[in-house]
Structure formats: C-alpha cells, structure tokens
C-alpha cells in the first residue's frame, strides 16, 4: 500500500504538472487569439484608410483633368482673339496705303491724313494694349500651368504609395503632361506672333512719325512721352517699395538670427564676446599712416566681423557683435539689455570689459560724467532694472536690491563703500582713525556661490541711491597717469547688484545677481614708461591678466585643473568663467596704428574666450522661501 501510495502521489504530481502546462498553453492560445483579432482590426482600419485616400486621389485627378479642359478652352479663345487682332492690323495697313495714294492733292490729303492719323493712333494704342494684355495672359497661363504641374507631381507621389491601381492614373497624368507641353508650345507660338505684331507696330509707328513731321503735330508725341514718363515713375515707385520691403525683411531676419544665435550660445554655454572700437583721438589722427581696422561687408560677417592689418598682413575675427567707432552708448546697451533683464529673472549675469589701457573700457562701463547721453552700461543697466521693477509691481512682484563695490589693487581687495578708507586686505595691522584695517577673503560654497568676508553691502531703493554709491566708489578707486592714458585705471573694479524677488500672488521667488566688471588695462612697460609705484601696479595688472589668460586657455582645452587660484581676479571670477552664469566680455581695442600689436593680442584673446564652454546658465527660482541673505556671485 505504501508503494501504491507513492506511485499514486507521483501520478498525481505528474497530472498536476500536466494540468498546469495545459492551463499555460490555454492562456497563450487565448493571448495569441486576442493579438490576431487586434492585428486583424488594425489591418481592416488600414485598408479602409487606404481606400479613402485612393478615392480622394481619384477626385483630385478628375479635378486636374477638368482644369486641363478649361485651359484648352482658354487657349482657343486666345487664338480667336489673336485672329481678330490680325484682321484689325490688316485694316490699319490698308488705311495707310490709302493715305499714301491720296498725298497728291494738298487740301484733301491734309484732311484725309488728319482723320486717318487719328484712327491709326487709336488703333495703335489699342493694339499695344491688346499686346500687353496678351502677354499678361500668357504669363498668368504659365503660372497656372506651373501650379498644375506641381499639383500633378504631388498627386503622383501620393498615388504611387497607395496601390498598384494608381499606376493607370499615372499614365493618364503623363498624357496630360504631354498635353501641357503642347500648350506650352502653343504659348511660345503666340509669343512669336506677338513679336511679329510688335515689329509691324514699329513699322506703323515709323510711318505715323513721318506723317506727324509733315503735319507738324507734336502734341501727340509729347503726350506719349508724358505717358511713358508716368509709367516709368510708377515702375520706380514700385521698385522702391519692393526695395523697402526687402530691407525690412533683411532687418527682421537679422533680429531672428540674433535671437537664435543667443539661444544657441545659451544652450552651448559659451562666453559671449562683443568687440568695440573706440574713435581716433585728435593727436592720433596725424600720426596714423592708414587705417588698420576694417569691417567686412558680406551678409554673414556684417556687424559681427572685424579685420586688423599689421605689417601688411590682414587678420580676420568674428564675434557675436562688433561696434564701430560711431556706435553710441545707447546702441551698445540695447544689445545687452536682454542679458541685464536675465538678472531679474533669477540668473547670474556677468559682464566685464577687457583691453589695453586707453582703449575705452571705463567709458563703456561708466560713461562720461556730466553727459547724460553718454552714460555707460552700469548706469543704464540700473535704470532698466528699476524701471522693470516698477512695471512688475502690478503683477505682484516685489524686489529687494543690495549693492557692493570693490577693487583689486596690487592683488589686494579694497572695499570701495567702506567708511574706513584704510581698510584693505594687505594692511591688517595698520590703524587709521582708531579702526584697524580689514582683511577680505574670498570663499566659495558647495552651491557655486562666492562670498567676500566683511564686504560692505548696501540696500538700495532707487537709481539715485546707486548713482551716489557709484560716485563714492569712483572717487575711492585707484587711478594714475601714464604715458598712454591721462586717467588710467590702476585696479580691477567689480560692481555687484544682488536681487531678491518675491511674487506674493504666486509664491514664486527669484534670486539673481548682476556683476559688472571694469578690468584694468594691459600695457607694455616700454610704452607706458611706468616707474616706482606705477611700475608695481603695471606688473600686478599684467600678472592678473596673464592668470586670466591661463584660465581661458585651460577652459578652452578642457583641462582637468583650472588655475583659478593663481590670482585674486580669477578666483573672484570663478563662478562667471566656470559656473552656471550668463557671461559676456567686451573687448575694447584702439584703432591707433601704434597700438596694433596690443589690439591684435586682445582680439586673439577674445576669440579664445568666445570658444570657451562654461556650462548652461541656470535660473535660480523657487516656490518656497529661501534665505534673504543673497550670495555674492
């Protein structure tokens, strides 16, 4: 019984496994059946769709055939009209022959010639009008034929993909194509006949001219000249209108190209580069043998290309924008206004000016004091930001703004807004007015933000407050006189505006930063003639700019180690050169021939900067509260 029980248990296990296998096969068969039914329904839908498309194609082909018939009827009417024109021309020729026979008698010939002249002129004008109408009709017929050909080709391409039955319709369309060729030949014949009619009309015009000279009737020729002049005037006005439309289209296309170019640069993460050429100074014009700066006139390089000639060799460069010496401060600001707007939208924005000393960097950034029409980028940017702040208040946005300004002088950070004028990094033990000098350090956090310790940060509410602070910083900034520049900036100036916006209706928050930097100018000791303190300043400036060049080279080569710490300037600019900031560099150059070498070095450096990829800009917005203390960069 145990053996029987064991055998029965084994049989039971086998039967259960077979039952499980049978159930699984049954499920697979059901799934296969469902898939088959689904595929059958999709095939039926595809078949119905193909039949409907076939019917629509047949209808379009029938409409094409109707159009071909109408074209044939129209050509027949043109031929009839042409025959009528021939008959009228023959009557005119007979009248002219009759005029020549009746010239013998003076009084009768004059009377007959006047009447026949009037009739011939009217018939000539009518024939000319009929000729022009016929030419316009032939042109419209060609256009209609071209449209018919395009429609036919489109229908053929669709018919070939549907079914083999449409091959028959293809044959019919080929026949219609041959008919179209015949129609084209007929139109060419009509054009030839029109040319013959033109020649006959010219002969008639010569005969009428001789009759006019004998009869001394000059009014008719004057009226013809007047009509022709009016026609030419209309043609000139039409061409001017077309030229204006074409220029508008070119301007719109240029705007679209700029927008797309900016979008591409933002996606690529490249540093944008604008080039600005300052005008020649009065003392430079007499010593200049020839112009070393030129601008390409091609469509691709217009407004973006610049060429510098040195020792007979021409060097070409292309940037995002090139400003000629006649460009105004307003034109320059318009190009960067959208970038300034990005700071209000929650982006980190950095704009800095680079170039040799005396090339116009400070003028570009600050402008000329006492001349409102020559305000620089910093004052204009602040005006735009405060205007936008006012315009966004009805939408629920409220902004807090903080300003800080510093300079890097001889690798030393100076706070330009500090009430203690002695405060600087390099004099921690110096005491002036009872207050020890401060030591400023640069720190970067894990989020890519930069802090400068103990730096004065001022809350601002209006443009006037910022203008007062700018004037205070300008008076505190280090400047000096060299042989190349009467008022040479001897330090790197950094202006920072930190914005914190809250939308009370949507609970949105945006944190943006605008950094505007006026770098000290590079200069050669042989030209600047610096000695003593000026020599140390020049060496410190050139060293920091050389460190900036090393950083740019490392970024361009995508090296693992970027030497940001080689100078205070590069370490402070690290978020702008290697972070998620929108960065723009102005390269300012001098058109003076004596500065051709420095200008060429600046342009080459700007090209390397333009090729650097620093990462895609990131918008700092959120729907939750963030710290009210804003970061530096």
Helix (H, G, I), strand (E, B) or coil at 616: coil
pLDDT score of 1: 84
Tokens of 508: 């949105």
Rounded to whole angstroms, what are the CA distances from 468 to 70, 370, 490, 603?
A: 81, 14, 22, 35
pLDDT score of 277: 93
pLDDT confidence bin for 422, thresholds 50/70/90 = very low
Tens of pLDDT, residues 365-389: 888 888 888 889 999 999 999 998 8
DSSP string, 299-335: TTTTTTEEEEEETTEEEEEE-SEEE-TT--HHHHHHH
Once rounded to an integer, what is the mean pLDDT over residues 78-86? 75
More confident residue, 534 or 254: 534
Which residues contact residue 574 at a Cβ distance below 8 angstroms, ignoring those fewer than 6 apart?
444, 450, 564, 633
The answer on pLDDT for 433 being more than 50 is: no
The answer on pLDDT for 435 being more than 50 is: no
319-333, 539-553, 575-589: which has the highest mean pLDDT?
A: 319-333
302-317 as b/e, with b when 16 or more CB fall inside 10 Å? ebbbbebbeeeeeeeb
- End-to-end CA separation in angstroms for the chain: 91
pLDDT score of 490: 72
Once rounded to an integer, what is the mean pLDDT over residues 288-306? 77
Q: What are phi and psi of 344, to 5 degrees?
A: -70, -25
pLDDT score of 330: 93
41-47: which pairs have CB atoms within 8 A and are 24 or more residues apart? none
d(CA 335, CA 276): 12
DSSP letter (8 states) at residue 271: P
Tell me the residue ranges of DSSP E strands in 552-604.
Answer: 582-589
Tokens of 375: 């305000």
Query: What is the H or E stretch that residue 366 is in?
Result: helix 361-366
pLDDT score of 429: 33
- Strands 272-277, 582-589: parallel, antiparallel or unpaired by DSSP? parallel
pLDDT score of 549: 84
Given a contact cutoff of 8 angstroms between Cβ atoms, the answer to whether 631 and 579 are in contact is: no
The answer on pLDDT for 288 being more than 50 is: no
34-38, 136-140, 270-274, 437-441: which has the highest mean pLDDT?
A: 34-38
DSSP letter (8 states) at residue 185: H
pLDDT confidence bin for 275, thresholds 50/70/90 = very high
Which residue(s) pair with 313 in the sheet? Answer: 310
pLDDT score of 149: 63
Q: Residues forming the annotated binding site for ATP?
A: 355-362
Given a contact cutoff of 8 angstroms between Cβ atoms, the answer to whether 606 and 424 are in contact is: no
Given a contact cutoff of 8 angstroms between Cβ atoms, the answer to whether 57 and 162 are in contact is: yes
Tens of pLDDT, residues 214-229: 665 455 555 676 787 7
The answer on pLDDT for 233 being more than 70 is: yes
More confident residue, 428 or 171: 171
Which residues contact residue 236 at a Cβ distance below 8 angstroms, ignoring those fewer than 6 apart?
none
pLDDT confidence bin for 624, thresholds 50/70/90 = very low
pLDDT score of 589: 92
More confident residue, 325 or 114: 325
| Percentage of residues of the chain with pLDDT beyond 90 | 8
Q: At what angle do helices 329-344 and 377-391 cross, to 10 degrees?
A: 50
8-12, 80-84, 259-263, 426-430: which has the highest mean pLDDT?
A: 8-12
pLDDT confidence bin for 539, thresholds 50/70/90 = confident
Tens of pLDDT, residues 468-489: 888 888 887 765 444 444 455 6
Query: What is the H or E stretch that residue 407 is in?
Result: strand 397-409
Provide the whole-model pTM: 0.56
Tens of pLDDT, residues 307-325: 999 888 889 999 989 999 9
The answer on pLDDT for 118 being more than 90 is: no
The answer on pLDDT for 260 being more than 60 is: yes
What is the SS3 string spanning 147-170? Answer: HHHHHHHHHHHHHHHHCCCHHHHH
pLDDT score of 67: 80
Mean pLDDT of the chain: 76
Architecture of domain 269-281+289-418+440-480+487-623: 3-Layer(aba) Sandwich (3.40)
| Range of weakest confidence among 48-57, 445-454, 520-529, 563-572 | 520-529
pLDDT score of 152: 63
Task: Give the distance between the most distant pair of CA atoms in the chain.
Answer: 156
Once rounded to an integer, what is the mean pLDDT over residues 580-585? 82
pLDDT score of 223: 64
Given a contact cutoff of 8 angstroms between Cβ atoms, the answer to whether 571 and 564 are in contact is: yes
The answer on pLDDT for 276 being more than 90 is: yes
Query: Minimal CA–CA distance to 187: which of 86, 72, 84?
Result: 72
Which residues contact residue 193 at a Cβ distance below 8 angstroms, ignoring those fewer than 6 apart?
82
pLDDT score of 426: 41
| Range of weakest confidence among 53-62, 116-125, 195-204, 326-335 | 116-125
pLDDT confidence bin for 176, thresholds 50/70/90 = low
d(CA 273, CA 609): 7
pLDDT score of 283: 77
Query: Minimal CA–CA distance to 614: which of 587, 633, 589, 595?
Result: 633
The C-alpha torsion from 75 through 81 and 84 to 88, rounded to 10°, is -130
d(CA 190, CA 127): 15
Tens of pLDDT, residues 31-61: 888 888 888 888 888 888 888 888 888 888 8
d(CA 173, CA 495): 73
The answer on pLDDT for 352 being more than 90 is: no
Tens of pLDDT, residues 129-165: 766 666 676 566 667 666 666 766 676 566 556 655 6
DSSP letter (8 states) at residue 379: H
pLDDT score of 114: 62
pLDDT score of 49: 87
């Amino acid at each position: 019984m145990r053996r029987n029980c064991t055998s029965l248990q084994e049989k039971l296990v086998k039967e259960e496994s077979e039952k499980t296998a049978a159930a699984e096969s049954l499920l697979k068969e059901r799934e296969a059946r469902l898939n088959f039914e689904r595929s059958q329904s999709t095939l039926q839908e595809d078949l119905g769709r193909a039949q409907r498309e076939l019917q629509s194609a047949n209808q379009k082909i029938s409409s094409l055939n109707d159009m071909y018939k109408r074209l044939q009827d129209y050509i027949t009417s043109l031929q009839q009209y042409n025959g009528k024109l021939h008959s009228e021309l023959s009557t005119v020729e007979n009248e002219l022959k009759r005029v020549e026979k009746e010239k013998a008698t003076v009084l009768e010939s004059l009377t007959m010639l006047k009447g026949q002249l009037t009739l011939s002129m009217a018939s000539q004008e009518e024939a000319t009008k009929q000729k022009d109408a016929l030419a316009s009709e032939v042109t419209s017929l060609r256009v209609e034929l071209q449209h018919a050909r395009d429609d036919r080709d489109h229908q053929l391409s669709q018919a070939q993909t549907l079914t083999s039955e449409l091959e028959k319709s293809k044959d019919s369309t080929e026949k219609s194509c041959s008919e179209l060729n015949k129609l084209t030949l007929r139109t060419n014949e009509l054009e030839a006949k029109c040319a013959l009619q033109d020649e006959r009309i010219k002969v008639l015009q010569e005969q009428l001219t001789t009759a006019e000279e004998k009869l001394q009737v000059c009014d008719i020729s004057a009226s013809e000249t007047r009509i022709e002049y009016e026609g030419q005037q209309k043609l000139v006005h039409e061409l001017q209108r077309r030229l204006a439309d074409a220029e508008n289209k070119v301007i719109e296309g240029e705007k679209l190209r700029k927008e797309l170019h900016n979008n591409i640069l933002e996606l690529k993460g490249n540093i944008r580069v604008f080039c600005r050429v300052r005008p020649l100074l009065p003392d430079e014009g007499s010593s200049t043998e020839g112009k070393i700066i030129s601008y390409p006139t091609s469509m691709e390089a217009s407004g973006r290309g610049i060429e510098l000639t040195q020792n007979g060799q021409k060097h070409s460069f292309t940037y995002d924008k090139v400003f000629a010496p006649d460009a105004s401060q307003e034109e320059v600001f318009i190009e960067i206004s959208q970038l300034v707007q990005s700071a209000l939208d929650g982006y980190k924005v950095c704009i800095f000016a680079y170039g040799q000393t005396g090339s116009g960097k400070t003028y570009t950034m600050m402008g000329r004091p006492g001349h409102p029409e020559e305000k620089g980028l910093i004052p204009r940017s602040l005006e735009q930001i405060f205007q936008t702040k006012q315009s966004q208040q009805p939408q629920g946005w409220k902004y807090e703004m903080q300003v800080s300004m510093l300079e890097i002088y001889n690798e030393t950070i100076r706070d330009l807004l500090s009430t203690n004028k002695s405060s600087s990094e390099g004099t921690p033990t110096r005491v002036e007015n009872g207050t020890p000098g401060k030591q400023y350090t640069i720190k970067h956090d894990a989020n890519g933000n930069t802090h400068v310790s103990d730096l004065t940060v001022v809350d601002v509410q209006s443009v006037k407050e910022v203008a007062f602070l700018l004037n205070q910083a300008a008076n505190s900034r280090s400047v000096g006189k060299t042989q190349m520049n009467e008022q040479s900036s001897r330090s790197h100036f950094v202006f920072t505006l930190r914005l914190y916006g809250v939308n009370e209706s949507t609970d949105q928050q945006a944190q943006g930063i605008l950094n505007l930097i006026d770098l000290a100018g590079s200069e050669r000791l042989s030209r600047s003639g610096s000695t003593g303190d000026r020599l140390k300043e020049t060496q410190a400036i050139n060293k920091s700019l050389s460190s900036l060049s090393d950083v740019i080279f490392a970024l361009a080569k995508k090296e693992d180690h970027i030497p940001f710490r080689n100078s205070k300037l590069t370490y402070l600019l690290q978020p702008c050169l290697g972070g998620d900031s929108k960065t723009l560099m102005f390269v300012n150059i001098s058109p003076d021939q004596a500065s051709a070498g420095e200008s060429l070095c600046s342009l080459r450096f700007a090209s390397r900067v333009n090729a650097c990829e620093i990462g895609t800009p990131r918008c700092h917005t959120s729907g939750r509260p963030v710290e009210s203390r804003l970061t530096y960069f």
